[in-house]
Amino acid sequence: MQERAPSPAFEQLSDTNRGPLVIITTYIFLICSCLAVTVKIWTRLAISRNVALTDWSMLACLACAFGQAIALTLSVNSGLGRHIDALSSAEVETASQAFYASNILAVAVLGSAKASVILLIVSIQPLRPVLVGCYSLLGVVGAWMVAGMLALAFQCDVPKPWVLGPETCVDQYAVQIGLGAVNVATDVIIVVMAYLMMRTTQVASSRRWAVVAMFGVRIATPPFAICALIAYRTYYANVDRTWHAVMPAIWTQVMLHASLITACIPSIKRFLADVQSGLMGATISEQYELTHSGGKATQLQSGSGTGFGSRIASRLGGVSNSSMGRSRGRENEKDSTQEEIYGHRAFARQSRGKSHTEENESVKGLASNVIHQKIDYEIEFEQRGDEHIWSDGGRTHRSSSEGQEKFP
């Protein structure tokens, strides 16, 4: 049987075609971004069972990244990465249209990633000055994203604003410089906001800087943005733009996905267990509680950190141990209270009958549990409207309209 010849590669790297470099870079980083967003969303659903605004913004960012990658792939397939004189006029126009669309979607990716980080800080509900600053920064990012997309969409004359040539366009490099400057500035301000959020938190310096570093990894994005701007200078200075568009496209991909991945890091890192003493409160070990409190779980909380730490835990994918401790304490206290009440009821019924009659086995078991379990707090409850039975230390009391009886 004759074997079929393998199909040719989608793109082949050669001295006259550098487009495959763009494809490889794009999809390697896109896979990494998909993994980061998947872990972020899974962590949020596993902890809080709902999707917040920061997660929706990240999903929108990933959707735009997919669209941008597809547009760039179409551009490479149509001739981006090859010399313009080796392409037909139809190929040049198709490559120009796809590259034009990818640049517009790139601004949407950056804006959505920034908004996701800002909304994450807002959801933690920091102090009012930081909160106002975050809302202001969110407005700046939104305005920058809309203005940037419009500027790129109408940088050249209609009806063909995607034309790569400089003849009918505004100063395109100046547009890129303006967009890049705001892009870098907003990333730096986001890191500053995260620092201001943690500055007044009562936690060790090493812990505080660990939290700030998780937001601060975003500072890795501006260097890639600067490299992209340098590459765009060469691109706009040459007429053979399909050939010189390779390096700007590669640096843009690195910048986009670095922005996307660093926006996911604060949510996928369960760091709250390491900083719980300062942010959430100290907890007493369960073994110590059961040994020294007679089976009643207790909780020692620091006054300043509990609410703030719990908010950080729920937003960043951590579990609030203080909440778990309080829940266990309430459950244990409820069980002890119910057991005490049921024991007193059984004991009261048995005392109202014959003093020395043989006890029912189930009642005897309940009463024995009460005798053996010494609880140092007082429990009161009402029975049959006018009867009142309570426990004080090791003695049980019963009062009614006819008087008070004591049961040893």
How high does pLDDT run on average in the chain? 75
Q: Where are the domains of the chain?
A: 19-269, 272-408
What pLDDT does 183 receive?
Answer: 96
Q: What percent of the chain is helix, strand and coil (3-state, nearest 5)?
A: 70, 5, 25
Residues 6+ apart with CB under 8 A from 95: 75, 76, 78, 79, 80, 87, 164, 242
In this model, does residue 168 exceed pLDDT 80? no
Instruction: Read off the pLDDT of each residue in 57-70 and give the average, rounded to a whole number.
Output: 96
Residue 110 pLDDT: 96
Whether the CA torsion 269, 273, 274, 279 is positive or negative: it is positive
Instruction: Taking residues 84-88, report their average pLDDT.
Output: 90
Q: What gap in Å lies between CA 128 and CA 134, rounded to an integer?
A: 10
Q: Dihedral through CA 103, CA 104, CA 109, CA 115, nearest 10?
A: 140
Tokens coding 46: 């596993």
What is the pLDDT averaged over residues 396-405? 51
Confidence category of residue 323, pLDDT binned at 50, 70, 90: very low
Q: Do the beta carbons of residue 220 and residue 74 sit within 8 Å?
A: no
Neighbours of 196 (CB within 10 A): 17
Most confident segment among 32-46, 245-259, 269-283, 285-299: 245-259
Record the tokens describing residue 5, joined without a space. Answer: 């010849």
Q: Residue 301's pLDDT is what?
A: 40
Strand order in the sheet with 403-407: 379-383, 387-392, 395-400, 403-407
Task: Measure the CA dihedral 369/372/375/376, to 10°.
Answer: 150
Average pLDDT over residues 287-301: 45
Higher pLDDT, 319 or 275: 319
Nearest one of 118, 144, 117 to 131, comparing CA atoms: 118
Looking at residue 206, what is its pLDDT?
79
In sign, the C-alpha dihedral spanning 6, 10, 13, 16 is positive
Rounded mean pLDDT, 229-255: 93
pLDDT > 80? residue 316:
no
Query: H or E segment at 403?
Result: strand 403-407
Q: Report the pLDDT value the prediction gives residue 295, as an integer from 0 to 100.
A: 47
Q: What is the pLDDT of residue 328?
A: 46
Q: What stretch of H or E contains 404?
A: strand 403-407
Q: Residue 94 CB: number of other CB atoms within 10 A?
A: 19
pLDDT confidence bin for 169, thresholds 50/70/90? confident
- Cα–Cα distance between 307 and 111 in angstroms, integer? 30
Q: Is residue 392's pLDDT more than 60?
A: no
159 cis-preceded (ω within 30 degrees of 0): yes
The CATH homologous superfamily to which domain 19-269 belongs is Rhodopsin 7-helix transmembrane proteins (1.20.1070.10)
Q: Are 41 and 317 in contact (CB under 8 A)?
A: no
**Residue 14 forms beta bridges with which residues?**
17
End-to-end C-alpha distance for the chain, whole angstroms: 99
By C-alpha distance, which of 120, 82, 97, 106 is closest to 30? 106
Q: Measuring CA to CA, how many Å separate 206 from each of 203, 209, 212, 303?
A: 8, 5, 10, 21
Encode pLDDT of 325-376 as tens digits. 444 444 454 455 455 545 545 444 444 444 444 444 444 444 444 444 455 5
Choose between 268 and 339: higher pLDDT. Answer: 268
Contact predicate 161/100, CB 8 Å: yes
Q: 12-38 pLDDT, tens per residue?
A: 778 889 999 999 999 999 999 999 999
* Percentage of residues in the chain having pLDDT higher than 90: 38
pLDDT for 170 equals 81
For 103-139, what is each residue's pLDDT tens digit? 999 999 999 999 999 999 888 877 889 899 999 999 9
pLDDT at 366: 42
Read off the pLDDT of each residue in 46-59 and give the average, rounded to a whole number.
86
193-210 pLDDT, tens digit each:
988 888 877 777 877 788
> Is the confidence at residue 159, as pLDDT, over 90?
no
Contact 214, 269 (CB under 8 A): yes
The CA R_g of the chain, rounded to the nearest whole Å, is 34
Q: Can you spell out the DSSP letters for 342-354?
A: HHHHHHHHHHHS-
Q: Residue 308 above 90 pLDDT? A: no
